A = this chain, B = another copy of it.
Amino acid sequence: MTSSQPGLKIRCQQLNPVVGDIKGNTLAILDALDRASKDAIQLLVLPELVLCGYPPMDLLERDAFINDINNGIENIVKASQNTAIIFGTPLRNPIQSGRPLVNAALLVQNGNIVASRFKTLLPTYDVFDELRYFEPARDNTPVLWNGYNLGITICEDIWNVENERVYHTYDRDPSKDLKDLGAEIIINISASPFTHTKAESRRKMLRRHASELNLPFVYSNQCGANTDLIFDGDSMFVNPGGDIVSVAPMFDEGSIDATFNAGRFMANEALSKGLPTKDERSYRAIIRGIRDYFAKLKLDRKAVVGLSGGIDSAVVAALATEALGSEHVIGITMPSMFSSAGSVTDSEELARNLGIKIHQVPIKGIYTAFEHELSALFEDDQFGLAHENLQSRIRGSIIMAYSNKHGHLMLNTGNKSELAVGYCTLYGDMNGALAPISDLYKTEVYSLAHWLNEKYFMKEVIPQNTMLKEPSAELAPGQFDADSLPPYPILDSILYHYLEEAQTANDIIKSGFESLTVQKVLRLITQSEFKRKQSPPGLRLSPKAFGFGRRIPIVQGWKEF
């Protein structure tokens, strides 16, 4: 059928919507439509739920929110002219049964809703809660538009097999069903969040579909970050057989155009060369996460970071500076009687290298005042956990006082390894509005630090001394992480197998780790669940981050040993 058609000009436009900002998102959609129209685009494809941003969560339960959504749809429909647009939005479920909403794709042109299609496969695992809100489509049929049979799918609909971790087995393949019903092109609108391995699994998935079904695929994905979830864009056109024709930028707004003719895409843009390395992707994801957290709060806020002289706070300060600009980041170094000299000098060197302001607030006087008042409560004056945590809480209170006084947002500097085993102080170093590296293991933080110095800055920005010193919380004399925890390469491997791969303790031991070490690590993970319950939101970089996507009871009696 297409052979008799002139070429169809299609654009994938990755937008970065703000969750809930229906007015702002509508303006962005209308602006994209306007530009597409000027560029003689015939079909503009926008991401899933772009009108409300993803994930809207329980805002979807508010009637007034759905009314505002409907107004937004009306405005887009009214403004539409000859350029057709496909975009995602929640809709009230037209059937009076099941859940009250559907996750819809609307095809709009010349003041009309030409067609609507609903999502069939609703992810309900990890960070996804879609069956909490949406009724799945019972069927999906091709849309005959402008002489083309369009198969319109939404995100998970094409992830029927390749999910990075298998939580279920889908017995439907919406793309294949659409092909069987005559679709000649599959259009997928997505809000698919970043993980370290998502770009590869996404390519594998699209290539398999395009090859198995011998159909062309249009893939348009959300970009930008909403609180903890980072969307990496990476929209693309894929030809039958699996050739990727053109790819949009990762993480940033942008668009790609192609001409569809005789069942294939032709694009002017060259295919972007290869994928960035893992470290570069972590870097770009975190930058996007920090930047959007601040920008989307729509408050002109700066960031404040406690600098310990260690690797974690150095990396967070460097990333915050890249994300927000050096004039928007403040460091505070808070030496105690147990701090190494480097705690201050390395922090000062880092601040100089980054061009950020640094304040010094010693905590000894405050600590002494606490000790004095607490002595009556303590019975003995043996130094211990209470004294260690107290130092951390004094520091947390100092940063929060600065935050409250100046309106700055505190960035948390904790990594995934310490959050996993609870090697961190609740209401102390666990404070913060956002935790940029809470989904990077300690070994990954080191790797990123090396990449920053060597590949990104191409000079020593994170001080050599910070890179080389043995990790220490410096809360007690001569204290090192290695006294309490297995060496980080071992700890991180065990954590990865347990958390990301959901291996059993036995499997982990069989793969070569000491039984006692595995037992200790698993016990620490279980014991620190209550801390993570109260941790700040952390940027999700892996398929299994702490936070919303990992839901473990606090009071519970299961041990694998």
Interface positions, chain A 10-36, Cβ under 8 Å from B, are 18-22, 24
Query: Is A478's CB within 8 Å of the partner chain B?
Result: no
State whether B20 touches A557 (Cβ < 8 A): yes
A296: nearest chain-B partner, CB-CB: B555
Query: Is A537's CB within 8 Å of the partner chain B?
Result: yes
Q: What B residues does A271 contact at CB under 8 A? A: none
State whether A369 touches B359 (Cβ < 8 A): no
A62: nearest chain-B partner, CB-CB: B502
Q: What B residues does A59 contact at CB under 8 A? A: 552-553, 556, 558
Q: What B residues does A550 contact at CB under 8 A? A: 58
Known: A167-B99, A386-B404. A64 touches B505 (CB 8 A): yes
Query: Is A361's CB within 8 Å of the partner chain B?
Result: yes
Query: Is A300's CB within 8 Å of the partner chain B?
Result: no
Interface size counted on chain A using CB atoms at 8 A? 98
State whether A100 touches B167 (Cβ < 8 A): yes
Contact of A405 among B369, B384, B398, B505 (CB under 8 A): B384
A24: nearest chain-B partner, CB-CB: B557
Q: What B residues does A361 contact at CB under 8 A? A: 373-374, 376-377
Known: A61-B167, A376-B359, A551-B57. A22 touches B369 (CB 8 A): no
Interface positions, chain A 46-76, Cβ under 8 Å from B, are 53, 55-59, 61-65, 67-68
Query: Is A274's CB within 8 Å of the partner chain B?
Result: no
Query: Is A110's CB within 8 Å of the partner chain B?
Result: no
State whether B365 touches A397 (Cβ < 8 A): no
A255–B168 Cα distance when bound, in Å, is: 38
Indicate with 1 or 0, residue by residue over A217-261, a CB within 8 angstroms of chain B CB atoms.
000000000110000000000000000000000000000000000
Stretch at the interface among A125-133, A151-159, A459-467, A513-521: A125-133
Stretch at the interface among A306-314, A321-329, A387-395, A414-422: A387-395
Indicate with 1 or 0, residue by residue over A91-116, a CB within 8 angstroms of chain B CB atoms.
00000111110000000000000000
Query: Is A506's CB within 8 Å of the partner chain B?
Result: yes
Q: How far is the CB of A80 from chain B (nearest CB, A)?
A: 23
A490–B517 Cα distance when bound, in Å, is: 56
Indicate with 1 or 0, residue by residue over A522-559, a CB within 8 angstroms of chain B CB atoms.
00000000100111110000000000101111111110
A21–B361 Cα distance when bound, in Å, is: 47
- The 10 A-B residue pairs whose C-beta atoms are closest, nearest first, are A21-B557, A20-B558, A20-B556, A386-B404, A369-B369, A386-B405, A64-B504, A19-B556, A97-B171, A393-B397
